[in-house]
Amino acid sequence: MVRDGDISLENLVQVAFKTGDHVPPEAFETIANFRWEEKVPFSPIYLSGYFAELWGVSPEEAGEKAELSAQKLAENKVLQEVQALYETVRVSHNKVTPELDNLDYILAPAWILTYEFNQKTYMYVLNGQTGETFGELPLDGKKLYQSAALLALIILIILLLGGRFIW
């Protein structure tokens, strides 16, 4: 059986700064749900007082990355649809031809925070428009256990005092 189709993708986001290469892709995928319909023309005043990354990826490189992403998304979409219809699926040939209609550079409000705690580096990424976040917060096990013990002691005292007055 041959499966053929057209898939339209809009607002396919690609990171266009070089230092973003050390950031896990799932970080940006998690926070990339920007409300594109609310975008406004760029003004340098938006960056007043902030450090911002400059783009370091050429339009050609960004286009190649977007085509690869589009190809993977299209392959996964078709495979999911076919697997839902059949018990077993074997891919013998696969041809995806992505076509980019336009490519725009957009400065999106995203913040990346990296910090070190107990010899481990943590990263936190924030979508400045929607508030979506990605990251891992460090936990101090000693403080966590102390807080839990204190809370348990307070609850025990309240229960003992409450039981004293009820009987």
pLDDT in tens, 42-85: 888 888 887 777 677 787 888 888 888 888 888 888 788 878 88
Q: Are residue 128 and residue 82 in the same domain, yes or no?
A: yes
Residues 64 and 117 in one domain: yes
Name the band, by pLDDT with cuts 50, 70 and 90, for residue 165.
Answer: low
Distance from C-alpha of 100 to C-alpha of 154, rounded to nearest angstrom: 62
Residue 155 has pLDDT above 90, yes or no: yes
Same domain, 64 and 118: yes
> Is position 2 within any domain?
no
Q: Which amino acid is residue 67, in one-letter code?
A: E
Does residue 20 surpass a pLDDT of 60? no
Domain residues for 41?
A: 18-136
Q: Does the predicted TM-score (pTM) go above 0.75?
A: no
Domain count, the chain: 2
Q: Let me know whether 143 and 125 are in one domain.
A: no
